[in-house]
Every structure is written in structure tokens, then in C-alpha cells.
Amino acid sequence: MKPWKGWYHINGNTYGTWLRGDPRGWRARHHREHCDGDYKNPPPPGKYDALYQQSKRLMKHNPVLLDRAAQELAGRALVEMLDMQNIPVIALSLDKRHYHILAKFPDNKVRPVIGRAKKHAYHVLRNQGHQGPVWGKRARVLPVRNRQHQVNVYHYIIDHQKRGSWVWTFKEGLHWTTKK
């Protein structure tokens, strides 16, 4: 599906927080493996325990959960790098384990741009003492269908603030990047 006027809803996770076999449900890339259920209707308890344990054993680092200060640092870094790449962002939320971004892209090359933003956020966190990886692989990129969908996604993202997420919107601007 083509996005409406270039708008996309992008979401992803921190490293190791959503694995194959997860009891909350999971999806294999391109649905190569079938999983009964999803996060709204999880699979029967214990059905994928062996796969989940194997996924955890294969991890080279501990799962990453960002504290509030790290959420703000990483969130600002994501917004900054998207702005440097001339990508208009109207909302971003980041909690301890996942992020959502609503942004407009001039073409359909969304993942490389998001990858650069995640890399920048990684370096910002590393400079503050964070060790190891930060982000899970492959963001989920969903095209926005129309204006109403865009408005719904915007409100969905900013509503994450009620659940403790760090949230940024275009209304706040990039005030932290100005030099005094």
C-alpha cells in the first residue's frame, strides 16, 4: 500500500525485549513461522516456551530496558537525526522497551533513514556510559492510509505518555539543539 502523502508509522523495540517464542505472542519475519495469537490475544501458556528459551540463550547481551533519562536522551537523538535528514516528525514516544514515530518520508526508503537515527541514538547513549546494543533489528514500517489514520496514529503515540513513555511532538520543537 502506498502511504498517504509520504506519512509512515514506525515502531520498534530495544534489544532483546521481544523475542521469537515470546509468551505475549510474536511474529516471524515475513510470517515464515506461524504463531497462534498476538499481543492482544496471546498464544496458550507454554506453547512456545522451548522456542522462547532458545531465543534467550542465543542472545549475546542482556535485554535493554531504558530508564527515564535514557528514554529522553535517545528520543531526542532520534528526532535530531531525522531532522538532520530532512524528515518531518510530528510525534515520537519512547518507553523502556519500544518506540513509535510518525514521520513523513520523501520516498519509500524508510528503514535506512530510521537505521541512521537509531545509530545516532546509540552513540549518544554510549557517550553517556551505556554498554552494548540498544535497538532490536528491523523497525516495523506501516504506511499511513489517510488524514484520519494520521490523526489516530498521532493520538495513539502521544497517549503513550499516560503509560510513562517519554513523548515528543512537533509543537515542542528542537529547543534543546539551540546553542546559548
- Whether the pLDDT of residue 180 is over 50: the answer is no
Same domain, 122 and 157: yes
Mark whether 91 and 118 lie in a shared domain: yes
Least confident of 14-28, 102-116, 137-151, 154-168: 14-28
pLDDT at 179 over 60: no
The answer to whether residue 19 is domain-embedded is no
Is the model's pLDDT at 143 over the cut of 90?
Answer: yes
Q: What is the mean pLDDT of the chain?
A: 90
Residue 99 lies in a domain: yes
Looking at the fold, whether 47 and 113 belong to one and the same domain comes out as: no
Q: Verify that 142 and 111 share a domain, yes or no.
A: yes
Percentage of residues in the chain having pLDDT higher than 70: 94
**CATH number of the structural domain spanning residue 126:** 3.30.70.1290
Report the domain count for the chain. Answer: 2
Q: What's the pLDDT at 31?
A: 66
Lowest mean pLDDT among 25-29, 80-84, 172-176: 25-29
Render pLDDT for 84-123 as a digit per residue (tens, 0 to 9).
999 999 999 999 999 999 999 998 899 999 999 999 999 9
- Domain presence at residue 21: no
Answer yes or no: is 20 within a domain: no
Taking 60 as the threshold, does the pLDDT of residue 146 lie above it? yes
Q: Is residue 43 part of a domain?
A: yes
Give yes or no for residue 178 having a pLDDT over 70.
no
In this structure, are 95 and 124 located in the same domain? Answer: yes
Residues 73 and 118 in one domain: yes
Asked whether the predicted pLDDT for residue 135 surpasses 50, the reply is yes
Which residue range forms the structural domain that includes residue 168?
4-14+65-174
pLDDT score of 23: 76
Residues 82 and 166 in one domain: yes
What is the three-state SS of the chain? CCCHHHEEEEEEEECCCCCCCCCCCCCCHHHCCCCCCCCCCCCCCCCCHHHHHHHHHHCCCCCCCCCHHHHHHHHHHHHHHHHHCCCCEEEEEECCCEEEEEEECCCCCHHHHHHHHHHHHHHHHHHCCCCCCCECCCCEEEECCCHHHHHHHHHHHHHHHHHCCEEEEHHHCCHHHCCC
47 and 69 inside one domain? no
pTM tops 0.75 = yes
Higher-pLDDT residue of 130 and 44 is 130
Residue 148 lies in a domain: yes
Q: Which residue has the higher pLDDT, 157 or 53?
A: 157
